Amino acid sequence: MAEDLPQSEQPELVAERQTPMKSLHRGLLALQALDEARTLRTVDLAQRLGIDKGLASRILQTLTATGFAERTPDRRYRATRPSSAMTERRTGVALRTVTRSLLQQLCESSGESAHLGVLADDRVVFVERAVPSVALLVDRPVGTLVSLYNSAIGKVFLAHFGVGVAGLPKDDPLLPDAEGLNVIREQGYATDDEELFAGVRCAAAPVFDANGLMVAAISLSGPSSRISSARMHELGRMLKASIPTV
């Protein structure tokens, strides 16, 4: 929450901003592997990089979402060829452009902050946002990284990509179990009932491309004084009904 959550109370976010170099290194190695092999399955990339299949899948999903790779009809992945349109996608411009007006509409209709997030290794990074003109709001700047297991937007990714992520606190009671992840997939959205930050509730839903691949997620979040538990689920259903294929 912009006013209730000063920087001193957010050590997790400060620490997380130190992780992108590791993600970048793995992403570059993955691109090199795709270039050398022409096409790869998720398991092939995992073997080449010496990582688990879950992490390899998230790397490939991130490369696809940002335009550096694409999925073939036989569920393999290949590096994309440079073009002006692809240059836009590689900078995240295309995804952000497509969803920017939607974020603003969701923000205006709900009265809460809307954020677009994509995977960055074992975190979610916010790449676009729309915030309401109210005194009390949740404002997470573009570039903010949040954890997967206790944020609504992170749990959406876990539900679709699995929980095999290095660094997840396996014994944390907030980590969703298989049944919880199945519920998220079935209802089409996830919630964060003051799990990431006290005093903040949030709902998030996936963004799929034309091939049915999850490429991002959108969240709506605000103070718990304004968002009851019931309202949180209303926001989740709103997101599910409002997000188009991109």
Instruction: Determine contact, residues 26/121, Cβ cutoff 8 Å.
Output: yes
Q: Establish if 163 belongs to a structural domain.
A: yes
**How high is the pLDDT of residue 16?**
35
- Which helix (H) or strand (E) covers residue 115, if one does? strand 113-120
Find, among 91, 246, 219, 69, the residue nearest to 157 by Cα.
Answer: 219
- Give the helix ranges, DSSP H, for 38-112: 42-49, 53-65, 84-90, 93-110
Mean of per-residue pLDDT scores for the chain: 80
Q: Which of the listed residues 89, 115, 135 is the one where a domain comes to its end? A: 89
Least confident of 19-28, 111-120, 215-224: 19-28
CA distance 125 to 141: 10
CA distance 90 to 69: 9
Q: Which domain holds residue 25?
A: 19-89
Q: Which of the listed residues 89, 112, 141 is the one where a domain comes to its end? A: 89
What 93-98 contacts at long range (C-beta under 8 Å, 24+ apart), as own/partner pairs, is: 94/67, 95/65, 95/66, 95/127, 95/215, 95/216, 95/246, 96/127, 96/128, 98/246
**How high is the pLDDT of residue 110?**
96
Between 175 and 230, where is the model more confident?
230
CA distance 63 to 51: 16
Q: The domain spanning residue 157 has which CATH number? A: 3.30.450.40
**How high is the pLDDT of residue 172?**
64
User: Quick check: 8 pLDDT over 70?
Assistant: no
70 and 159 belong to one structural domain: no
Q: At what angle do helices 53-65 and 42-49 cross, to 10 degrees?
A: 110
User: Quick check: 148 pLDDT over 80?
Assistant: yes
For the segment 136-156, the average pLDDT, to the nearest whole number, is 88
pLDDT band with cut points at 50, 70 and 90 for residue 130: very high
Q: The domain spanning residue 40 has which CATH number? A: 1.10.10.10
76 and 33 belong to one structural domain: yes
Cβ-Cβ contacts under 8 Å for 226 (sequence gap 6 or more)? 111, 112, 136
224 and 175 belong to one structural domain: yes
Between 39 and 81, where is the model more confident?
39
Least confident of 64-73, 170-179, 187-196: 170-179
User: Quick check: 131 pLDDT over 80?
Assistant: yes
74 and 129 belong to one structural domain: no
For the segment 74-100, the average pLDDT, to the nearest whole number, is 64
Domain count, the chain: 2
The residue whose two tokens read 């992945």 is: 77
- Which helix (H) or strand (E) covers residue 193, if one does? strand 190-193
Cβ-Cβ contacts under 8 Å for 129 (sequence gap 6 or more)? 103, 113, 114, 115, 116, 139, 140, 141, 142
51 and 129 belong to one structural domain: no
Q: Which of the listed residues 89, 117, 132 is the one where a domain comes to its end? A: 89
Q: Give, in order, the Cα–Cα distances in Å from 192 to each of 22, 91, 104, 120, 150.
A: 27, 29, 21, 20, 7
Q: Establish if 2 belongs to a structural domain.
A: no
